[in-house]
Amino acid sequence: MPARPYRDLSRCVLCEHRCGADRLAGEEGVCRVTEPVVASRCLHPAPPESYTVFLAGCNFKCLNCQNWSIAHYPDNGQPVEGYVEPAFLARECVRYLESPDGRFMGADRIFFSGGEATIHLPYVEEIVAEARGLRPGVKVNFDTNGFMTEQSLQRILAFATSLTFDIKAFSDEVHRALTGAPVDPVLRNAEILARRAPERIWEFRVLVIPGISDGEVEPMCRFLAGLGRDLPVCFLAFRPNFVLESHPGPGRELMERCVEAARQAGLRRATWAGVTDVPGLAASEDPALRPFYRTVPARVAASAAAAAGCTTHPRDCYACLSSRQCPVKRYVPVRQC
């Protein structure tokens, strides 16, 4: 356990699950993480170029998780580094940003990712304070799924230079089927961010999974355009992985249609990224789940969750009696790309 206690963790309400777990005493909430845990850290070329600290654990249980080996700590048995003293890590971050390799890459900020960095918020705050004691004004990017409380978002805005903000789906039932959590807090926080600090949004990232979330693109675009037509939006091509390891990726034409839908909605800064046309076999719908989900896309996603062992439908990881022994978190994909 860390040498210094983080009082927020004694009754954790950092995210909208608001579990209230005493993580300092070893109690587990939905994320199942007690102490702050670093999975890895390195200079990273993906925009924004940075020294990236990957933090282990997540408050979502996404079926499509590309960082599953990090996000589903501690259940999947994948190796992580462990607790790293904030002062030590801050010195390392600054040293690498100022190194020849960092300067050549153009790395200009510390990037906190995961997993989900919100569940380690007091730890992140301490690292940032230490780093800015060494290099005043050092930039910081906070990468998030948007499921923090309003209070946590205000704390993040107090130190973050930029945010990369993922939106997994727009409708509540598709979002629940994919992540195990409701969408309303995510959309609320997207609106708060767009209204109060639009200049700090590096980009909203919208996942495109054919047959599951692609039908969400148009209403998502209208929602985001209503917050600001100059908001940067990047559609991410789903890459088959984790529980959805056999599901196909989107084609290039679909990704281009997403950008066109954004422009039609009035968004001026829409792009797409990722590898397209990855083959696969679309997940099939389990008829037994029809009473729990209205739409086919939600049922398709939920059926994949059920096949991996999820028993609570509609998916709700906070209320699930098996949350602490979640079979989804223990899933190890065969296909890893």
Angle between helices 296-307 and 172-179 (to 10 degrees): 10
Cβ-contact 265, 230 below 8 angstroms = no
pLDDT of residue 322: 85
Residue 334 pLDDT grade (very low, low, confident, very high; cuts 50, 70, 90): confident
For the entire predicted model, the pTM comes to: 0.96
pLDDT of residue 202: 98
265-300 pLDDT, tens digit each: 999 999 999 999 999 998 889 999 999 999 999 999
Q: By percentage, how much of the chain surpasses pLDDT 70? A: 98
Question: Hey, where are the domains in the chain?
Answer: 1-160, 203-321
pLDDT of residue 336: 63
Pair type for strands 50-55 and 38-44:
antiparallel
φ, ψ (nearest 5 deg) of residue 25: -95, 5
Q: How far apart are CA 83 and CA 9, in angstroms?
A: 15
| Residue range 196-215: mean pLDDT, rounded | 97
40-74 pLDDT, tens digit each: 999 999 899 999 999 999 999 999 999 999 999 99
Q: Is the pLDDT of residue 219 over 90?
A: yes
Cα–Cα distance list, 125 to 37, 160, 328 (Å): 14, 10, 30
DSSP helix/strand/coil, 252 = helix
Domain range 1-160, CATH architecture: Alpha-Beta Barrel (3.20)
Q: Is the pLDDT of residue 185 over 80?
A: yes
Q: How far apart are CA 100 and CA 173, in angstroms?
A: 48
Cβ-contact 2, 122 below 8 angstroms = no
Q: Is the pLDDT of residue 182 over 90?
A: yes
Q: Which amino acid is at 304?
A: A
Cβ-contact 51, 96 below 8 angstroms = yes
Q: Is the pLDDT of residue 3 over 50?
A: no
Q: How far apart are CA 15 and CA 144, in angstroms?
A: 11
Angle at 53 between CA 52 and CA 57, to 5 degrees: 135
